[in-house]
């Protein structure tokens, strides 16, 4: 994620230069993000500067026959052609993970469709606007939260079975390749899996095949909106946590370098399994000095 636009070379980012920078800033390994094109993936696989601990599905980023980017395809789509293509791309990511010597593939399991598209609920959009304007409580906020909960329950009836089908197909491919799938908790309330859906989705899969991938920024934002309590994720699912995306949050803006926001890291340090990889999912606007400082910042807080 941090590499985007920072290392321009021949109309794309040089992953060779990115790998050199990552190593220099103190990172011995990276996660290959889903925005990286095929050429960039090959550069990272050939790099002597960093190893690859995980890949974020769907990797690499390509367009389908209809001109849609791979990361726009919904693993929970009612359209079986779209869902099937999304499954195939996730399986391709698993194959690249094998080539990379990586152990994990992080998966976004799709979302509830409105008018044929996976999109944010209007209730969540209004909650975010109110939060940004300083309104965090009151009757209007309570009503919007209730609306969001109702929309989530009604929509899951339609799309969650499709997400479950996709997970079964992806997990079967992953198990055959000795790759573990990490289901990431998501940034928007319409996306899968919700906290209460995660245990049932993981049931029947050993941790070596599928588990939970904590995204610190996402749990923080949905907690701030009053939609999902952040502590419950690790309190209830810590034993199924395979890894984490660590980044800070300023208001509702995530992917800040740790130390440039106001996340309470104490419950993260307490709840993350010691052997779970900590992937610094920092956006491209964060300066080099903040990226380097993030490691000692989280070490002081015993997150790493």
Sketch the domain layout of the chain as residue ranges: 8-119+161-300
- What is the structure's pLDDT at 275? 94
Which pTM was predicted? Answer: 0.95
Q: Taking the CB of residue 9, how many other CB atoms lie within 10 A of it?
A: 13
| CA–CA distance, 83 with 89 (Å, rounded to integer) | 10
Mind listing the pLDDT tens digit of every residue in the chain (304 residues)?
999 999 988 888 999 999 999 999 999 999 999 999 999 999 999 999 999 999 999 999 998 888 889 999 999 999 999 999 999 999 999 999 999 999 999 999 999 998 778 899 999 999 999 999 999 999 999 999 999 999 999 999 999 999 999 999 999 999 999 999 999 999 999 999 999 999 999 998 999 999 999 999 999 999 999 999 999 999 999 999 999 999 999 999 999 999 999 999 999 999 999 999 999 999 999 999 999 999 999 999 999 9
- What is the structure's pLDDT at 131? 95
Helix (H) or strand (E) holding 202: helix 198-202
Pick the CATH number of 8-119+161-300 from 3.90.1150.50, 3.90.180.10, 3.20.20.150, 3.50.50.100: 3.20.20.150
Spatial contact of 265 and 231, defined as CB atoms under 8 Å apart = no
Dihedral of CA atoms 68, 71, 74, 80 in degrees, nearest 10, equals 50
Dihedral of CA atoms 105, 57, 255, 164 in degrees, nearest 10, equals -80
């Amino acid at each position: 994620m941090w590499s985007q636009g920072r290392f321009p070379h021949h109309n794309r980012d040089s992953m060779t230069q990115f790998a050199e920078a990552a190593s220099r800033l103190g990172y011995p390994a990276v996660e290959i993000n889903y925005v990286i094109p095929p050429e960039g993936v090959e550069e990272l696989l050939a790099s002597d500067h960093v190893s690859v601990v995980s890949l974020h599905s769907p990797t690499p980023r390509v367009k389908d026959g209809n001109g849609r980017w791979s990361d726009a395809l919904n693993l929970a789509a009612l359209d079986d052609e779209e869902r099937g293509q999304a499954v195939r791309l996730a399986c391709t990511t698993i194959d690249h993970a094998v080539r990379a010597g990586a152990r994990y593939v992080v998966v976004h399991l799709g979302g509830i469709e409105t008018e044929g598209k996976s999109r944010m609920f209007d209730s969540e959009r209004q909650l975010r606007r109110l939060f940004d304007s300083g309104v965090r409580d009151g009757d209007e906020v309570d009503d919007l939260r209730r609306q969001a909960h109702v929309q989530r329950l009604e929509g899951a009836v339609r799309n969650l079975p499709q997400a479950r089908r996709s997970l079964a197909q992806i997990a079967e491919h992953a198990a055959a390749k000795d790759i573990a799938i990490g289901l990431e908790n998501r940034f928007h309330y319409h996306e899968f899996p919700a906290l209460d859906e995660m245990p049932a989705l993981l049931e029947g899969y050993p941790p070596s095949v599928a588990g939970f991938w904590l995204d610190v920024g996402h749990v923080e934002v949905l907690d701030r909106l009053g939609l999902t309590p952040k502590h419950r994720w690790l309190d209830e699912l810590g034993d199924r946590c395979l890894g984490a995306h660590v980044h800070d949050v300023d208001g509702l803006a995530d992917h800040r370098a740790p130390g440039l926001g106001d996340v309470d890291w104490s419950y993260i340090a307490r709840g993350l399994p010691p052997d779970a990889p900590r992937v610094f999912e920092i956006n491209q606007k964060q300066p080099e000095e903040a990226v380097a400082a993030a490691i000692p910042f989280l070490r002081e807080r015993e997150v790493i």
